[in-house]
Amino acid sequence: MKITKKIITKIEGEATLKLHKNQNIIEFAEIEFWQYRGIEDFLKNRHYNDASVINPRVCGICGHSHLIATAEVIENALKIKITKKAKILREITVGLEIIQNHIKWFYLTLFPSIKDIDYFKALEFSRDIAKIIALIAGQFPHNSYAIAGGITSDLTNLEIIKIKNFLLKMFERYQEIMNIEGYSKDLEILFEDIPKNIGKSLNKFLVLGNNLFFRANGEIKFVNEEKTSSFNKNALYNDKFYEVGPLARNLKNPLINKIYEEHKDSVYTRIFARLYEVNLIFEYLIKEIDKIDINEKNFIKPRNKNGKGKISIEAPRGSLIHEIEIENEKIKKYNIIVPTQFNLANGNKQNLSPAQAALINEDEKYADFIFKCFDICAICVSH
Amino acid sequence: MLSKPKIIWIDGVSCYGCSHSFYNYPEIKTLLQKIKLLYHPLFPTNEFKIQKCDLLVIEGAIKENFLRMDFDLIDLITQMIKLSKKVLLIGTCAVYGGIFGEGVLFNKNKKGIFFPFKDKIIAVPGCPPHPEWIAYAIEMLIENKKMLLDNEFRPKEIFSYTSHMGCIRNEYFEWKIDAKNFGEKEGCLFYEQGCQGPFTHSSCNKILWNEVNSKPRAGTPCFGCTERNFPKKNLFMTEKFMGIPAEIPIGVSKRAYLTISGVAKSLRNERLERKLIDEDN
């Protein structure tokens, strides 16, 4: 047996992958993250609203999900109910963040690890998506328009019409990347030289968030964290590992389910689910925007000053958990569990994480690709 | 033909918000065609290797005992700064430290450990910096154009503006009408909601984010994210002293500011005291 150590880069940071091999076949894999930034400690003793500025800085690509999770966990702790209008607008911005993430991941992270592609069209697409977020939230990345009690912006119908038309246009443009029937020329090109059925994992899926059209299949109270040999903390559910993310939360979609029946939880199904989810989000947001009542309030001032909260939302890579304790409007404790802690956990041979299970028994030459199929956010792990 | 300038972009303790901000630069393809990008932490490039370059871009803060690509981060930056003709610091973390650590040039109010290299360093702070600022600095540096800098090594063509300039709530500021709440079109966010626009160096309300908006236009206060003490505490509240904001617009004496505020308030602007879009009028 031989062990090789490899630093995987361009995954919103880096991870160390130690592969235990017999010839070229992977027998076991260790996943380590060696960076730590200390965001949770930075929040202590600050006013809870400061978290709406600090937490988006957990991550440059999915920081908006951290913003929405922050607002929701404070609302959960202080028992605040927001208006339907504020809720819909948050759904739109968080949904759009998922879209820009998937596009960048496919064309800038995954595809170039196999072959060349013109990724500038993907940047153009994600830039236009970011523009719609900015119309609602002020800017992207790193806005703070969602605060406990609602949102800071006060749109007119002029912006609503602009956003709606923009969504319709981008949905149409997306058909060239993957159409509503599930055909994607670029996906076919990617798989010209790679087997579709590699990277099969645990075949166990977890969804904890209830935002957009996603429905939870578990409860956050059963989630626990355990320390590892590196800075990553494993996230488990009832002491077992589960896969979170686009495949987990879209398994009931008939088209994704058909692919899943054929290829199981392989790399192909995982990538397909992520790309196809974009179509589903566009369809959902285009319907939701019509439900906005422009006369509703954007913000309701919180009254309570103390409380504890714990929530989960579906972020680009899966279930994201935020947990808070507030005392006299100040943050006493904050804890963040990110989707990559589930998927890229470092388990042992008896209890493998989704990424470890996906790597085992596969040829070493596919390790990088199988690993990246989970859409890793190393920077989120190192919060 | 001259060969293209070689650029290496490295990351310290960051969130990659600077890179993702730069990704939104509309002319990114044209700009990247002018250079040879030897390494970037996210963008498809060759593997990193220690080598000479014309321009080193650093994103993120520095921190002791922090591993980056198996190098100690401070060793890595030391080696790379010495091998680079010029250095561009991108983002508040790299310039001042921000949330995550110390800056390369400054450590908040103090000089940072790489301050002795200041003659080849340009600072473009912001959390994140606007994509056009990053593009501007790269273009100016690779074309050897002279940039006027302020005393914190920031290009004056960007940082002589305040983020207050271009704010659509300016009329409310003139007449000293504060916002009564978040989520409303009316009122200036400087008096209660913590807006730092009048004393933050930034041109974001002039050039706008994502070409369409800005935080204050979306009802969010400016958090002073281009400044050395970002992020202050109580970001959604204005600290006050005897009823007036503790920090006042740059260039005005406290007495002058009090006088003009009193006059503006006493003269009243009735139009601005009503709802902007009013059913009755």
Burial A206-236 (b: 16+ CB within 10 A, else e): bbbbebbbbebebebeebeeeebebebbbbb
How is residue B222 annotated by DSSP?
P
Rounded (5°) CA angle B81-B84-B86: 95
- Residue ranges of alpha helices (H) inside chain A are 39-43, 51-54, 63-78, 84-104, 120-137, 157-174, 185-190, 246-249, 254-263, 267-289, 339-343, 354-359, 367-372, 378-381
Tokens of A326: 């507030």
From B44, B214, B217, residue closest to A112, measured CB to CB: B44
On whether both B134 and B179 belong to a single domain, the answer is no
A168 Cβ partners below 8 Å, 6+ apart?
A286
pLDDT the model gives residue A64: 98
Cβ <8 Å between A144 and B20: no
pLDDT at residue B1 tops 60: no
Q: Look at chain B and report how many structural domains it folds into.
A: 2
Which residues in chain B are contacts of A130 at CB distance < 8 A? 24, 210
A49-91 pLDDT, tens digit per residue, is 999 999 999 999 999 999 999 999 999 999 999 999 999 999 9
On whether both B132 and B261 belong to a single domain, the answer is no
- Is B11 part of a structural domain of the chain? yes
pLDDT at residue B28 tops 90: yes
Q: Look at chain A and report how many structural domains it folds into.
A: 1
CATH number, domain of B10, equals 3.40.50.700
- Is B205 part of a structural domain of the chain? yes
B72-114 pLDDT, tens digit per residue, is 999 999 999 999 999 999 999 999 999 999 999 999 999 999 9
pLDDT the model gives residue B128: 98
On whether both B256 and B205 belong to a single domain, the answer is yes
Contact B91, B134 (CB under 8 A): no
- Given pLDDT bands bounded at 50, 70 and 90, which one contains residue B271? very high
Tokens of B50: 């220690």
- Is B53 part of a structural domain of the chain? yes
Residue B39 backbone dihedrals phi, psi, to 5 degrees: -155, 140
When the pLDDT of each residue in chain B is averaged and rounded to a whole number, the result is 96
H/E stretch holding A319 reads strand A318-327
Measure Cα distances from A43 to A53, A141, A245 in Å.
10, 20, 27
Residue ranges with strand state E in chain B: 6-11, 36-39, 53-59, 67-68, 71-72, 84-90, 106-107, 110-111, 121-124, 240-241, 244-245
Q: CA-nearest residue of chain A to B217?
A: A138
Cβ <8 Å between A139 and B209: yes
- Given pLDDT bands bounded at 50, 70 and 90, which one contains residue A354? very high
pLDDT at residue A348 tops 80: yes
d(CA A361, CA A28): 8
- The average pLDDT across A373-381 equals 91
On whether both B129 and B66 belong to a single domain, the answer is yes
- Is B258 part of a structural domain of the chain? yes
A174-192 pLDDT, tens digit per residue, is 999 999 999 999 999 999 9
On whether both B14 and B119 belong to a single domain, the answer is yes
- Is B164 part of a structural domain of the chain? no
On whether both B147 and B215 belong to a single domain, the answer is no
d(CA A321, CA A253): 24
pLDDT at residue B280 tops 80: no
Residue ranges with strand state E in B154-250: 240-241, 244-245
- The average pLDDT across A333-350 equals 96
On whether both B29 and B93 belong to a single domain, the answer is yes
d(CA B5, CA B218): 39
CATH number, domain of B182, equals 4.10.480.10
- The average pLDDT across A92-103 equals 98
Give me the residues of B, 23-62, that contact A with CB < 8 A: 23-24, 26, 28-29, 41-44, 47-48
pLDDT the model gives residue A130: 98
ipTM of the complex: 0.97
Give me the residues of B, 88-127, that contact A with CB < 8 A: 98-100, 127
- The average pLDDT across A20-43 equals 95
pLDDT the model gives residue B243: 81
On whether both B204 and B81 belong to a single domain, the answer is no
pLDDT at residue A277 tops 80: yes
Domain that holds residue B68: 6-155
From B19, B212, B220, residue closest to A145, measured CB to CB: B220
Count how many pairs of residues, chain A against chain B, have C-beta atoms within 8 Å: 180
On whether both B213 and B109 belong to a single domain, the answer is no
- Given pLDDT bands bounded at 50, 70 and 90, which one contains residue B48? very high
Q: Closest Cα of chain B to A31: distance in Å? A: 15
pLDDT the model gives residue B244: 85
Domain that holds residue A54: 2-381
- Given pLDDT bands bounded at 50, 70 and 90, which one contains residue A1? confident
On whether both B19 and B148 belong to a single domain, the answer is yes
- Is B162 part of a structural domain of the chain? no
pLDDT the model gives residue A378: 87
On whether both B57 and B174 belong to a single domain, the answer is no
pLDDT the model gives residue B4: 96
* SS3 category, B11: strand
- Is B183 part of a structural domain of the chain? yes
Q: CA-nearest residue of chain B to A126?
A: B24
Q: Closest Cα of chain B to A314: distance in Å? A: 20
B156-213 pLDDT, tens digit per residue, is 999 999 999 999 999 999 999 999 999 999 999 999 999 999 999 999 999 999 999 9
On whether both B14 and B147 belong to a single domain, the answer is yes
B121-144 pLDDT, tens digit per residue, is 999 999 999 999 999 999 999 999
- Given pLDDT bands bounded at 50, 70 and 90, which one contains residue A120? very high
From B16, B100, B220, residue closest to A37, measured CB to CB: B100
CATH number, domain of A296, equals 1.10.645.10
Q: How many CB atoms lie within 10 A of CB A262?
A: 12
- Is B163 part of a structural domain of the chain? no
